[in-house]
């Protein structure tokens, strides 16, 4: 009897403006024909400042993203923006994800929660953070991780004001950022900006520092797959995608 093909799963991503969204078609190629990763864009300021980020992640913007993704019939939807979710705090980000789920009619989450889930899946309890944001915004990410039980032993902020500037960083600059801001007491390194192209660099960064590296677009895609019931191992995407699906802890573990 021929083996039954795995059903195709579609995970929709709501991405703010334009910067590093080409990480998503790259992931689609690496993950194979059973996965589709469409991206819908919403628009607002790309400034890394608290008030602007609160505006960027407001319910009506995310509902518009859900509407744009609806023709693709996604099995799950992810708000692919770290700062536009953690800026709401743990409780507020939870309400944001619940509102998006209601608007999309499918399970939904955000990049900030994806970081916590991914760190837990790898057993990372103490991490270093290499943030591109200004210090005021980066500290809110540290607080969010703490609420999720992840201790930050070292945090750097690059004080880059806009997502567009982050998107223009060269591959060499991104790898150097990771290498410069690791910490010997950290189990892994987190790089929290979906505006930064990182997917093709994760293996290189991990080889350079000798420990897992979690980047925003990487964890966003991984958590979207998990949420849609399509978790999978894959090469070329670092330690996170080497976890066998059967070994990924269930929600709440």
Read off the pLDDT of residues 231-251 as tens digits, 9 standing for 90 and up: 999 999 999 999 999 888 877
pLDDT of residue 117: 97
Task: Flag whether 99 is in a domain.
Answer: yes
Task: Flag whether 3 is in a domain.
Answer: no
pLDDT of residue 165: 74
Task: Flag whether 89 is in a domain.
Answer: yes
Task: Flag whether 130 is in a domain.
Answer: yes
Q: Domain containing 224: what range?
A: 9-247
Task: Flag whether 253 is in a domain.
Answer: no
Between CA 158 and CA 131 the distance in angstroms is: 6
- How does residue 3 score in pLDDT terms, banded at 50, 70 and 90? very low
Closest residue by Cα to residue 231 from 145, 118, 72 = 118
Task: Flag whether 50 is in a domain.
Answer: yes
Q: Which two tokens stand for residue 71?
A: 């023709």
Alpha carbon 179 to its chain's center = 20
Residue 185 has pLDDT above 80, yes or no: yes
**How many domains does the chain fold into?**
1
Task: Flag whether 131 is in a domain.
Answer: yes
Domain of residue 207, CATH code? 3.40.50.12500
pLDDT of residue 246: 87
Task: Flag whether 252 is in a domain.
Answer: no
For residues 93-113, b (16+ Cβ closer than 10 Å) or e, as one string? bbebbebbbebbebbbbbbbb
Between CA 42 and CA 39 the distance in angstroms is: 10
């Amino acid at each position: 009897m021929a083996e039954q093909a795995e059903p195709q799963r579609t995970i929709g991503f709501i991405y703010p403006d334009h910067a590093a969204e080409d990480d998503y078609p790259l992931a689609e190629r690496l993950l194979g024909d059973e996965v589709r990763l469409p991206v819908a864009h919403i628009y607002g300021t790309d400034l890394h400042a608290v008030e602007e980020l609160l505006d960027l992640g407001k319910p009506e913007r995310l509902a518009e993203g859900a509407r744009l993704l609806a023709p693709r019939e996604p099995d799950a939807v992810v708000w692919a923006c770290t700062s536009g979710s953690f800026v709401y705090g743990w409780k507020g980000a939870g309400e944001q994800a619940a509102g998006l789920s209601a608007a999309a009619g499918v399970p939904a989450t955000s990049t900030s929660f994806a970081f916590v889930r991914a760190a837990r899946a790898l057993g990372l309890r103490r991490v270093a953070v290499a943030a591109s944001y200004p210090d005021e915004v980066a500290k809110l990410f540290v607080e969010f991780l703490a609420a999720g039980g992840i201790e930050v032993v070292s945090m750097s902020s690059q004080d880059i004001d806009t997502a567009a500037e982050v998107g223009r960083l060269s591959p060499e600059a991104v790898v150097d950022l990771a290498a410069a801001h690791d910490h010997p007491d950290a189990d892994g390194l987190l790089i929290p900006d979906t505006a930064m192209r990182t997917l093709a660099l994760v293996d290189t960064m991990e080889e350079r520092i000798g420990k897992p590296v979690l980047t925003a677009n990487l964890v966003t895609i991984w958590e979207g797959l998990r949420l849609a019931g399509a978790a999978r191992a894959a090469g070329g995407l670092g330690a996170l995608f080497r976890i066998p699906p059967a070994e990924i802890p269930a929600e709440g573990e």
